[in-house]
Amino acid sequence: MKYPTLNVLGLMSGTSLDGLDLCLCQISGLKTEQIKQRGFSTLPMPANLKAKIRQNLEPVSSSVDSLCELNMQLADWFTQ
């Protein structure tokens, strides 16, 4: 039985808030998986998004509404 080859894009934004790391991998096989990196890039985080994250790190300057909005802004940036 032949298993499909998958192209998987991994995203990660760490605590440094410097950017978004993207890694495109090709995965094939089942019991003897083969993983090949096909591409890697780091996109710098926009200043306004970084500022909003920093604002929401502190309970005094954070709110549920602001966190929900930030969640959507991050998702939008990730998809772009």
Show pLDDT as tens, one digit a residue, over the chain (80 residues).
677 889 999 999 888 889 999 999 999 887 767 899 999 999 999 999 999 999 999 999 999 999 999 999 999 999 98
- Residues 54 and 31 placed together within one structural domain of the fold: no
Q: Which residues have CB under 8 Å from 11's CB, separation 6+?
A: 20, 21, 22, 78
Residues 1 and 40 in one domain: yes
Verify that 62 and 26 share a domain, yes or no. no
Strand-pair category, 6-12 with 34-44: unpaired
Using a cut of 0.85, tell me whether the model's pTM lies above it. Answer: no
Same domain, 33 and 62: no
51 and 41 housed in the same domain = no
Domain that holds residue 35: 1-45
State both tokens at 10: 């991994």
Number of domains comprising the chain: 2
Give the containing element (helix H, strand E) for 20. strand 19-28
